[in-house]
C-alpha cells in the first residue's frame, strides 16, 4: 500500500461530512458555513471556530439544530456544540491565535495522532501471500505466484493482467518477500516499467549503459510492473527484449504485470509481445462479493478494528471494482472510530464510501499535480519546468500533453487549467489541446502514450 493510501485526516473530515449533508443555498454555504474551522471533538462536545460574534449568532439561531442532527447521524450519538470566536473571553490569547490559523491535520490532538500512526505501524499489513485474499477472481494468478516463490514453476514468464487496483503489485511484492525469506542470496530486481525506461534513458544520457545492463541482466529474478508503459518507446523495448532473452536463456524467472493482455498493448514490437505470451497468462477479475467481504474482514482484523457484519456487508455490496478503494475505506473508518470512540455504523460507512467514490462508482478525480508529475516522468522534464516560461521543445510538448490530459480527466475550465501552468491564458490551453489532438491523428506512438496516460490516471 502506498503512503498516499495511508494518509489519515483529522476531525475536519467528519465536519466536512456533516456540512455536505446540509440542505441550504449556495449563498448561505459560502457566507456562513465555509468559513467555519473545525477544532476538535472532545468527548461528546464539538468545538468549532467562527469568524465573529455576529456570524456565531446567525449560526446558533439558524443552523445549530441541523448541525446536531447531522452529527448524530454520522457519529451515532448526540453532541453539544461549542462555538468560539476571537472575541470570546472564555479562551486564552494563545488559543485565539491557534484557532485563527489553519488547523494542521491531527495536530490538535497529539495523543490521537500517535495512536493512529502506531496502530497503522503495528497492523503488519505487508504485501505477503498471508495478506492476499484469494477468490475465484484471482486464484490462478495467486497460485502461479506461489509456485514461483517456492521455486516450482513450469512456465516462464508469468504475465499477470487486470484493471488497476486489483492486486497485481501486491502479488509481485509477495513473491519478492517470500523469495527473500527463503533464499536470502537470490538477486531479485523489482521495478516499474516507468523506472526501467527512465533508468535506461539516463544510462544513455550519462554513458553508463553497461552498469544498466549489469543490473538487469544479472538478476536471478526480474519483476516488472505495468509493462504497458513500454508502448511507443522503441529503444526501451529493444533493451527489455535483450534483457528478457538473456534471463530466459539462463533459466531466470521473469514476472510481468499489465493493465491489459499483450495483444492489446498498442505500439509494441511483435517479438516482445510474443515473449510476453511464451509462458503463463493469468488475469485478475474484479473480486466477487465473498472475496470483497473477506478483504474487509482481513484488513479490519489487521487494524484491530471491530466492524459489525451488517456494516461490512454494506461496504462489500457497494465497493465492487477496486481493492485499493476497499482498503482506503477501512482506513478512513478506522480513523473516525479512533477519533470518536464509537463503533462503525452504516451511516459512517455510507459517508466513508462517498469520500472514496464519486457518484458514478469511479475513483475520485485525480489532482492536477498528479497529472503533471506523471507527464513529467514520461517526457523526462521536471514539473517546475512545465509550469515555468521555458519554451524548450521537450518542455513545451510535455506541457501541452499535460494540459490535454487535465482537460480530459478533470472538470477544470481552460482558464483554470492555464492558471495551473504559471497563469497562462485560456487561449494557450485551447491551442495546446488542439495541437495534441492533431498529433494524435498522425502519430500512433504519440496517441498510444496519451491514451495510456488518460487510462492509467483515470483508474487510480
* pLDDT of 109 over the 60 cut: no
Structure confidence at residue 235 (pLDDT): 93
Of the pLDDT bands very low, low, confident and very high (cuts 50, 70, 90), residue 345 is confident
- Look at 360 and 69; give whichever has higher pLDDT: 69
Read off φ and ψ for residue 49, nearest 5 degrees: -100, 125
Third-level CATH fold of 3-108: GMP Synthetase; Chain A, domain 3 (3.30.300)
- Look at 5 and 101; give whichever has higher pLDDT: 101
Mean pLDDT to the nearest integer, 8-12: 55
pLDDT digits (tens, 9 = 90+) for 71-91: 887 777 788 999 888 766 555
pLDDT digits (tens, 9 = 90+) for 133-167: 888 889 999 999 999 999 888 899 999 999 887 88
Mean pLDDT to the nearest integer, 34-58: 82
Structure confidence at residue 414 (pLDDT): 80
Structure confidence at residue 92 (pLDDT): 54
Structure confidence at residue 279 (pLDDT): 92
Tell me what the pLDDT averaged over the chain comes to.
Answer: 81
- Look at 303 and 115; give whichever has higher pLDDT: 303
Mean pLDDT to the nearest integer, 324-341: 80
pLDDT digits (tens, 9 = 90+) for 257-312: 998 999 988 889 999 999 999 999 999 988 888 989 998 998 888 888 899 988 89
Mean pLDDT to the nearest integer, 248-265: 93
Third-level CATH fold of 368-458: Chromosomal Replication Initiator Protein Dnaa; Chain: A; (1.10.1750)
List where CATH 1.10.1750.10 sits in the chain: 368-458
Structure confidence at residue 51 (pLDDT): 77
* pLDDT of 216 over the 70 cut: yes
Of the pLDDT bands very low, low, confident and very high (cuts 50, 70, 90), residue 318 is confident
Mean pLDDT to the nearest integer, 92-101: 47
Q: Which range scores top for mean pLDDT: 21-35, 211-225, 319-333, 364-378?
A: 211-225
List where CATH 3.30.300.180 sits in the chain: 3-108
* pLDDT of 171 over the 90 cut: yes
* pLDDT of 48 over the 80 cut: yes
Structure confidence at residue 427 (pLDDT): 78
List where CATH 3.40.50.300 sits in the chain: 139-283
Structure confidence at residue 85 (pLDDT): 81
Mean pLDDT to the nearest integer, 339-353: 78
* pLDDT of 124 over the 50 cut: no
* pLDDT of 106 over the 60 cut: no
Considering the domain delimited by 139-283, tell me its CATH architecture: 3-Layer(aba) Sandwich (3.40)
Amino acid at each position: 500500500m502506498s503512503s498516499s493510501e495511508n494518509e489519515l485526516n483529522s476531525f475536519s473530515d467528519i465536519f466536512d461530512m456533516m456540512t455536505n449533508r446540509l440542505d441550504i443555498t449556495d449563498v448561505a454555504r459560502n457566507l456562513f458555513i465555509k468559513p467555519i474551522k473545525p477544532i476538535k471533538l472532545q468527548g461528546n462536545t464539538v468545538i468549532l471556530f467562527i469568524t465573529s460574534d455576529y456570524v456565531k449568532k446567525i449560526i446558533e439561531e439558524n443552523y445549530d439544530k441541523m448541525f446536531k442532527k447531522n452529527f448524530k447521524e454520522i457519529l451515532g450519538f448526540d453532541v453539544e456544540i461549542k462555538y468560539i470566536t476571537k472575541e470570546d473571553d472564555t479562551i486564552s490569547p494563545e488559543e485565539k491565535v491557534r484557532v485563527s490559523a489553519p488547523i494542521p491535520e491531527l495536530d490538535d490532538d497529539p495523543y490521537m495522532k500517535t495512536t493512529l500512526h502506531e496502530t497503522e505501524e503495528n497492523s503488519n499489513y505487508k504485501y505477503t501471500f498471508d495478506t492476499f485474499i484469494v477468490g475465484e477472481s484471482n486464484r490462478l494468478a495467486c497460485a502461479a505466484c506461489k509456485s514461483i516463490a517456492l521455486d516450482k514453476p513450469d512456465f516462464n514468464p508469468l504475465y499477470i493482467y487486470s484493471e488497476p487496483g486489483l492486486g497485481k503489485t501486491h502479488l509481485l511484492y509477495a513473491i519478492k518477500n517470500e523469495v527473500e525469506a527463503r533464499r536470502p542470496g537470490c538477486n531479485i530486481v523489482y521495478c516499474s516499467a516507468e523506472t526501467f525506461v527512465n533508468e535506461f534513458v539516463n544510462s544513455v544520457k550519462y554513458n553508463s549503459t553497461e552498469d544498466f545492463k549489469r543490473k538487469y541482466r544479472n538478476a536471478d529474478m526480474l519483476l516488472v510492473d505495468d509493462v504497458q508503459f513500454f508502448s511507443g518507446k522503441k529503444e526501451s523495448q529493444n533493451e527489455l527484449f535483450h534483457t528478457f532473452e538473456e534471463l530466459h536463456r539462463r533459466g531466470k524467472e521473469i514476472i510481468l504485470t499489465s493493465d491489459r493482455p499483450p495483444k492489446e498493448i498498442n505500439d509494441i514490437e511483435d517479438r516482445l509481445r510474443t515473449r510476453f505470451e511464451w509462458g503463463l497468462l493469468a488475469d485478475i477479475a474484479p473480486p466477487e462479493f465473498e472475496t470483497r467481504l473477506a478483504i474487509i474482514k482481513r484488513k479490519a482484523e489487521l487494524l484491530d478494528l471491530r466492524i459489525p457484519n451488517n456494516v461490512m456487508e454494506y461496504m462489500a455490496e457497494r465497493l465492487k471494482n477496486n481493492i485499493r478503494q476497499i482498503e482506503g475505506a477501512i482506513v478512513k473508518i478506522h480513523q473516525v472510530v479512533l477519533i470518536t470512540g464509537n463503533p462503525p455504523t452504516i451511516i459512517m460507512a455510507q459517508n466513508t464510501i462517498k469520500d472514496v467514490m464519486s457518484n458514478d462508482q469511479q475513483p475520485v478525480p485525480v489532482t492536477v499535480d498528479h497529472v503533471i508529475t506523471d507527464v513529467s516522468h514520461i517526457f523526462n522534464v521536471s514539473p517546475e519546468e512545465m509550469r515555468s516560461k521555458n519554451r524548450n521543445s521537450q518542455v513545451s510538448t510535455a506541457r501541452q500533453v499535460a494540459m490535454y490530459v487535465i482537460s480530459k480527466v478533470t472538470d477544470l475550465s481552460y482558464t483554470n487549467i492555464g492558471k495551473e501552468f504559471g497563469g497562462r491564458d485560456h487561449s494557450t490551453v485551447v491551442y495546446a489541446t488542439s495541437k495534441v489532438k492533431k498529433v494524435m491523428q498522425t502519430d500512433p506512438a504519440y496517441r498510444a502514450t496519451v491514451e495510456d496516460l488518460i487510462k492509467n490516471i483515470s483508474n487510480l
